[in-house]
Every structure is written in structure tokens, then in C-alpha cells.
Amino acid sequence: MADYQIERFSKRIRVIDQNSDYTLTIDTAERTHLKPFRRFIFTIPRFDKGKMHVTARDLPDYSLEVQNLEIEPYKQYLEIGSGLGEFMPDLVKQLAPDSPKPIVIDYVDYHLLMGMIDYSKNLSLSKEINKRCEVLIDRASTILNPKKVTLITSPVEHFLLDEENFGIADVIMDHFAASLYSHEKSLNERIKKILKTNGVFIWEQEVKKDHPKYHER
Ligand SMILES: C[S@@+](CC[C@H](N)C(=O)[O-])C[C@H]1O[C@@H](n2cnc3c(N)ncnc32)[C@H](O)[C@@H]1O
């Protein structure tokens, strides 16, 4: 049974799940310069140590390489660390009924995230916040739908221990996820083993200064 503690500040509210130590910080200011994905920040315990932010970028907040990626419905896509970003739910919409099911590897517990968003929605903080909650619930539901996505709730480091997982993906995406946060310097080289021959690994770990959105941050 969920047990939430709420901390209220003048312009933000924090919902803490006492059982898991997951925290959701929502910026509640009426007018805010924060982009939607920065307005809702989840913080969860890292699988190795410390804390991890789970973000929820909208597509225009992704790197240009991701925004310009042409989706080919018969390729096997795999995303590491989807969080609540829009890339995977949008990809799912673009695939055909007989496309290979995309794979998500993320150790975050999407059920816990959904519960916390649902709880926050019931606080009725504002219309805008409720709308955002609905968007995020929709994203989490897509990732949790086994008909649409194969979800592997695990650190990619664990996934890489099984050689049966090698050579399975045409396109791997890691957008501000394991490649950025891992302490292991050779992780990217190991991730490439998941690719088929001629597969593509797209990874992003720094905000590009030439990104059109950069200056709005
Ligand atoms: C900063 S969020 C990025 C979310 C999304 N890709 C975006 O760009 O908004 C990092 C996500 O990567 C996941 N993650 C980080 N390290 C990981 C690892 N080693 N294996 C699997 N998932 C990982 C976290 O749980 C979190 O959901």
C-alpha cells in the first residue's frame, strides 16, 4: 500500500513515496520558465549508488539527431533509460501492427511512477499540472503495455551479462541515460554488442550548444 509524504514549499510541492524513497518534485508556479520536463522531476535511488533523475522530455527537447531520426517500422528498436520521455511512446505510434516490438531497458519502477503521478493529479494543483499528469500517465501506460513494448526492468549492465541479448537490435537509443551516468568507461563499447551487424547506436550525453532549444534553457 502506497504511503506518501507531502512537503509543500512556496512554489513547489514534493511527493515522497515512503516505501521506495522515490520523490516527485513538481514546480507549481503559475508562470514558469521551466520547460514541462523540468517542471516534473522524479528522483529515484540509483541501482549502484546515489540518486538518479527520471526526466520526461518532449520530442522538441531531444537532440536534433533524435528529432530527425527517420523511423523504419521493420527495424528492431531498443531504448536504454526511456524514463518518461516522449521518444518511446511516439515511436510506438509510428510502428505497424506487425513491426518488431520495441524494447525498453530501464530499472525505474514504472508502476511506482504512475502511482505518484496519479496521486499528484488528485491534488488538483492546477489545470496545467493535471494535463501534464495525464500526458505522463499515458506515456507510462504505453511502456507498461506488453502488447506494445517489451519492458526489461533492469540496469543495462545486468542485461549485458546474458550473451543471448547480443546482436538483437537495429537501433539503440540512449538519451541522457546509462551512457551518461555509468561509472564504467567501456559501457558504450559493451552496449554495441546488443546491435546487429550495421546497427546504429545513438547516444546523447551533453546538451548541444547548437541545439535550437539550448538558448531557451
Ligand atoms: C535523465 S533520465 C532520461 C530519460 C529520457 N531518456 C529523457 O531523455 O528524458 C535517465 C533514465 O535512464 C535510466 N537509467 C540510468 N542509468 C541506467 C542504467 N544503467 N540502466 C538502465 N536504465 C538506466 C533512469 O532510470 C532514467 O529513467
**Among the atoms of ligand 1, which is closest to the Cα of residue 157?**
19
Provide the sign of the torsion angle of the four alpha carbons 160, 141, 181, 198, taken in this order. positive
Q: Is the pTM of this model over 0.75?
A: yes
| Coil vs helix vs strand at 134 | helix
Determine if ligand 1 sits within 6 Å of the CB of residue 36: no
- Please state the domain extents for the chain: 66-206
For domain 66-206, the question of CATH label 3.40.50.150 is answered with yes
- Per-residue pLDDT 10s for the chain (217 aa) are 889 999 999 999 999 999 998 999 999 988 767 777 889 999 999 999 899 999 999 999 898 889 889 999 999 999 999 999 999 999 999 999 999 999 999 999 999 999 999 999 999 899 999 999 999 999 999 999 999 999 999 999 999 999 999 999 999 999 999 998 998 889 999 999 999 999 999 998 755 444 444 333 3
**In whole angstroms, what is the distance from residue 87 CA to residue 2 CA?**
29
Determine if ligand 1 sits within 6 Å of the CB of residue 52: yes
108 and 83 Cβ atoms separated by less than 8 Å: yes
Cα(51) to centroid(ligand 1), Å? 11
Cα(63) to centroid(ligand 1), Å? 15
String of b and e for 37-50 (b: at least 16 CB within 10 Å)? Answer: bbbbbbbbeeeeee
Cα(65) to centroid(ligand 1), Å? 18
Cα(94) to centroid(ligand 1), Å? 22
Q: Which residue has a Cα nearest atom 20 of ligand 1?
A: 155
